[in-house]
Amino acid sequence: MDGSSLASTKDTAGESSDTASTSYQPAPDMSAEQEFFLYELETTDSGSIGLVLRAIYDCGDVRKFSRALEHRIHQYDRNIQKVCSFHYQGFVDSMKELLLLKDRCGGIKDDATYIDSQIQAASEDLSKKSEEIVKYRKLVKNASTAIDQISVCLPVLENYAKLQELMQLKKYYQALKVLEELEHTHLALVEKYRFTQILAKTMSPVRSEIKVKAYSEFKDFLENIKKVACRVGRHASRCVRGFSSGYTNYIVSN
């Protein structure tokens, strides 16, 4: 077991990197058992260190193991120095590249900040434009609705104006027809509006006025007929007598 442990220890200690040698040379007075203990300390987990230390103390040669441990630590320090020396120039180059990368990252950060500010400004402007579009769309919709409703209300107003004009011209029959059309056709479409309710209240007085004035005109017409009826009758009698005498003379002559 000591031989295999020593061999594995030498394999581990003799590992070297491609760039710098990190091999470990055992101390001249180090035994295979101490080499095994060092290997166990290097490779074991923290839970088994107590067992290794107990085995070292059971062996009895603690001072010699301490010297071997110091020798191994010294070897580690030298190997660390070799690795650091070997990689120092690469480290310096890497730091230079990192500084250049830092400058480039700073430039990229500034560009990103500028682009972000531009995007934020454009977004705010776009948001304002969107709000304006929504507002104007609502206005257009309201205007379109108002136009549609006015288009429905226009026939009512036109016919009402026509009714008033016919009443002034004393054309009561035509006015009555317009009134009927208003009441039964146009007002029914816009009855939800307040002005139509006001117009509807004026329809009954207009109808009564048409009735009264039409009756008055008809009465005047009859009175005028009565006045001229006698003259019309006398004229008709003369015409009949003249026609009869003429017809009689025509028969006699033939």
- Mapped onto helix, strand or coil, the DSSP state of residue 192 is coil
CB 24 within 8 A of CB 75: yes
Residue 211: its H or E element: helix 194-253
Name the pTM for this structure. Answer: 0.41
User: pLDDT (tens digit, 0 to 9) for every residue of the chain, 254 residues total?
Assistant: 344 333 343 343 344 344 444 555 555 566 677 677 777 777 777 666 777 677 777 776 777 777 777 888 888 899 888 888 888 888 889 899 999 999 899 999 999 999 999 999 999 999 999 999 999 999 999 999 989 888 888 888 888 888 888 888 888 788 888 888 888 887 777 777 787 778 778 777 888 888 888 788 878 778 877 777 777 777 777 787 776 666 566 665 65
Q: Which phi and psi angles does 154 have, rounded to 5°?
A: -60, -45
DSSP state of 104: H
In the chain, the N- to C-terminal Cα span, in Å, equals 179
What is the model's pLDDT at position 54? Answer: 74
Domain locations in the chain as residue ranges: 32-92, 148-235
Distances from the Cα of 90 to the Cα of 23, 28, 65, 94, 103, angstroms = 22, 35, 38, 6, 20
